[in-house]
C-alpha cells in the first residue's frame, strides 16, 4: 500500500441529493444472510479502531444495482409498472450464490467485489429491460457494472495505509450469500449511511 493512496469523504452531496430527499433504486439486500453477517462483523471488529470510517451494520448491507430516480420526480404509476415488468422478467432468472472474500479499498469505501459477477449482472440487465418497457430512456449506464457490497464508508480525507493494515489483520473465511430476490427500495443518505424502506421485493426463479 503506497503512502500516496488516500481516502476521501464519501458523503459529499452529489447532484440532486439533499437532506430529506428520497431515491428509488434497485438493490440486493442481506436481511436473511447469516454468513454475510458473520464476515461483516469480523471486518467491523477489525476496522473499528480506524478513524474516519462509517461502518455499515447488517441491516444496511446492500449490493447496488440500478437507480430509477428521485421519489418527487418519478410518477408512482410508472414505479408500479416497472415493478410489474421486473416481476415477469426476474421470474426466469435463477437464484444464485454470491461469494464475498477480501474487501478492497477504494477512495470512498471499503467493499467486497461479489463473485461471480455474471449472475448479478443478469439480474441488473433484466431490471433495465423492465424499465425500458415503461420508459424510453433507462437511467444510468449499462456498462461498467461491478457487483459490490460495502462494509465501511470513508467520512474524511487521509492516508489509506491504516485501513489496509487493519484489513490485513482480519482472518475471515469467505462468505456465501444466497441471492433469491431483488428489492426496489426508497433510499436516503441523511445520516452518513444508506438507509431505506422496501417498496417491492421481486423473487428470482428459485426464490419463490
- Domains annotated for the chain, with CATH where assigned, are 22-203 (3.90.1140.10)
CB 138 within 8 A of CB 18: no
| Residue-level pLDDT at 9 | 96
Q: How far apart are CA 39 and CA 170, in angstroms?
A: 10
CB 29 within 8 A of CB 195: no
pLDDT digits (tens), the chain, 208 positions? 444 689 999 999 999 999 999 999 999 999 999 999 999 999 999 999 999 999 999 999 999 999 999 999 999 999 999 999 999 999 999 999 999 999 999 999 999 999 999 999 999 999 999 999 999 999 999 999 999 999 999 999 999 999 999 999 999 999 999 999 999 999 999 999 999 999 999 999 974 4
| Residues in CB range of 40: below 8 A, 6 or more apart | 56, 58, 61, 151, 175
Its pTM surpasses 0.85: yes
Q: How far apart are CA 100 and CA 33, in angstroms?
A: 12
| Residues in CB range of 9: below 8 A, 6 or more apart | 108, 154, 155, 156, 157
Helix axis angle, 161-168 relative to 34-47, nearest 10°? 130
| Residue-level pLDDT at 5 | 85
Q: How far apart are CA 59 and CA 53, in angstroms?
A: 17
Q: How far apart are CA 84 and CA 13, in angstroms?
A: 32
Q: How far apart are CA 190 and CA 17, in angstroms?
A: 10
Collapse the DSSP code of 57 into the 3-class scheme (helix H, G, I; strand E, B; otherwise coil) and give the result: coil
| Residue-level pLDDT at 208 | 45
Q: How far apart are CA 194 and CA 187, in angstroms?
A: 7
| Residues in CB range of 177: below 8 A, 6 or more apart | 30, 33, 35, 36, 97, 98, 99, 100, 114
| Residue-level pLDDT at 2 | 47
Amino acid at each position: 500500500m503506497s503512502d500516496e493512496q488516500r481516502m476521501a469523504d464519501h458523503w459529499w452531496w452529489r447532484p440532486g441529493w439533499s437532506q430529506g430527499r428520497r431515491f428509488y433504486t434497485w438493490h440486493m439486500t442481506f436481511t436473511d444472510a447469516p454468513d454475510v453477517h458473520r464476515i461483516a462483523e469480523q471486518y467491523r471488529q477489525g476496522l473499528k479502531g480506524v478513524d474516519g470510517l462509517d461502518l455499515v451494520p447488517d441491516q444496511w448491507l446492500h449490493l447496488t444495482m440500478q437507480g430509477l430516480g428521485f421519489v418527487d420526480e418519478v410518477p408512482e404509476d410508472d414505479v408500479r409498472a416497472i415493478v410489474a415488468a421486473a416481476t415477469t422478467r426476474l421470474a426466469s432468472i435463477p437464484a444464485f450464490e454470491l461469494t464475498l472474500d477480501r474487501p478492497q479499498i477504494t477512495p470512498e469505501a471499503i467493499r467486497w467485489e461479489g463473485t461471480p459477477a455474471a449472475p448479478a449482472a443478469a439480474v441488473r440487465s433484466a431490471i433495465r429491460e423492465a424499465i425500458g418497457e415503461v420508459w424510453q430512456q433507462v437511467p444510468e449506464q449499462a456498462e461498467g457494472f461491478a457487483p459490490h457490497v460495502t462494509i465501511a464508508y470513508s467520512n474524511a480525507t487521509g492516508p489509506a495505509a491504516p485501513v489496509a493494515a487493519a484489513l490485513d489483520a482480519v482472518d475471515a473465511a469467505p462468505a456465501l450469500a444466497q441471492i433469491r430476490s431483488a428489492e426496489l427500495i426508497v433510499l436516503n443518505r441523511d445520516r452518513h449511511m444508506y438507509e431505506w424502506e422496501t417498496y417491492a421485493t421481486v423473487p428470482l426463479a428459485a426464490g419463490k
